[in-house]
Amino acid sequence: MLGASLYLSQSEEMNMQNLKVLNEVGVKTIFTSLHIPEEDPEQTLSGLKRITGKIKNYGMNLMADVSSSTLEQYSITKEKAIDFFKEFGITSLRIDHGFSYTEIKTFSKHFQIILNASTITEETCTSLMKAGMNLSEVTVCHNYYPRENTGLDRNFFLKRNKYLKDKGFKIQAFIPGNLKKRGPIYAGLPTLEEHRNIDPLVAYMDLKETFLVDEVLIGDILMKESTVTRIKKWIEEEVIVLPITNVHTNLPENFYEIHHNRQDVARDVLRSEGSRVALKGQSFEPIQAKQRPTGSITLDNDLYGRYVGELQVIKRALPADDRVNVLGQVKDASLGLLEHITAGVKFQFMEDYDE
């Protein structure tokens, strides 16, 4: 599952356009915050009113980050909080602090409850259950970290998520966007520090496949439409689309088709299963031999005998070879995708013009 963030200090026009794009690619959860210090409260509520109808029309879930200070900010008593949140079309509450477990239980009758993943303890779990809540019906969401070097450590994150899963919680976490970074720091909004400057699809797959995350949220204002489309292609078709550069002009006819990594996984390369059969009988003259750094896309040429036509992606750097033509290069930020292309996994190349 993929969700995205909208910030109510942005223009209505920008938020409406972002919602349209997000709906087209299947995003179903919209995250926003009602207590960002640098945002004007009146502007926040005004912006929320204008987009609530569109979110509802798209069938999206509106998740709001709230705390007791949120109510103080808007001069709302706790007794009127439920009506206040419902008025603005909120369907999920990410509760940060300032509410009792009894109050959280009351909220759960009207909203999906999401708690801060960083603050869950044994005492929290016991208190939630005493209040009558089933932990398997509660989601926990990690923070995003605007300042460089403050994102979570991978070992801590995995250990934490294993603990949360053992308790029965569903888990959410953030990946950065790659189109427009959110201020005032403009350094991306990831949960994990190592995700700050990489291809968001790498970050998405890491969270889902390695770190036990159930729903991934885009932290920044938005990411490239092509990137969201690539994430959608993985979710719906299980195809990993690799952005590439330095593409040779003379390509085999099957270059941009979907490839399958062989079931007998090689140590050094991804091998496109059936590429030799698909190109059987065709001639590929040698071109100038080049070093093959990680991410090089290669094709065995006529000098390689029975291997002519084998298409590969290099997983670990290899030297130049007269028998191997280098046809392109996976972009540096996307190299982490190669480790996710295991036995039988589908992959496809895409020149990324959406800069």
**Using an 8 Å Cβ cutoff, are 194 and 151 in contact?**
yes
Query: Number of structural domains, the chain?
Result: 2
Q: Give the CATH number for residue 300.
A: 2.40.100.10
Do 231 and 258 fall into the same domain? no
Each residue's pLDDT, cut to its tens digit, for the chain (355 residues) gives 799 999 887 888 889 988 998 998 889 999 998 876 666 777 778 778 888 989 999 999 999 999 998 898 888 999 999 999 999 999 999 998 889 999 999 999 999 999 999 999 999 999 999 999 999 999 999 999 999 999 999 999 999 999 999 999 999 999 999 988 888 899 999 999 999 999 999 999 999 999 999 999 999 987 888 998 899 999 999 999 999 999 999 999 999 999 999 999 999 999 999 999 999 999 999 999 999 999 999 999 999 999 999 999 999 999 999 999 999 999 999 999 999 999 999 999 999 755 5
Q: What is the DSSP string of 331-347?
A: -GGGGGGGGG--TT-EE
Q: Where is the domain boundary, 219, 237, 255?
A: 237
Q: Are strands 311-314 and 269-271 parallel, antiparallel or unpaired?
A: antiparallel
Do 32 and 154 fall into the same domain? yes
Secondary structure class of 4 (helix, strand, coil): strand
Secondary structure class of 215 (helix, strand, coil): strand
Q: Are strands 296-300 and 2-5 parallel, antiparallel or unpaired?
A: unpaired
Do 92 and 232 fall into the same domain? yes
Do 178 and 294 fall into the same domain? no
Q: Tell the residue number behind the tokens 């990831």, with chain if given.
A: 190
Do 115 and 20 fall into the same domain? yes
**Using an 8 Å Cβ cutoff, are 295 and 332 in contact?**
yes
Do 232 and 261 fall into the same domain? no
Dig out the tokens for 172 from the structure: 């959410």
Q: Give the CATH number for residue 15.
A: 3.20.20.70
- Expressed as residue numbers, the domain containing 284 is 244-351
Q: Where is the domain boundary, 183, 214, 237?
A: 237
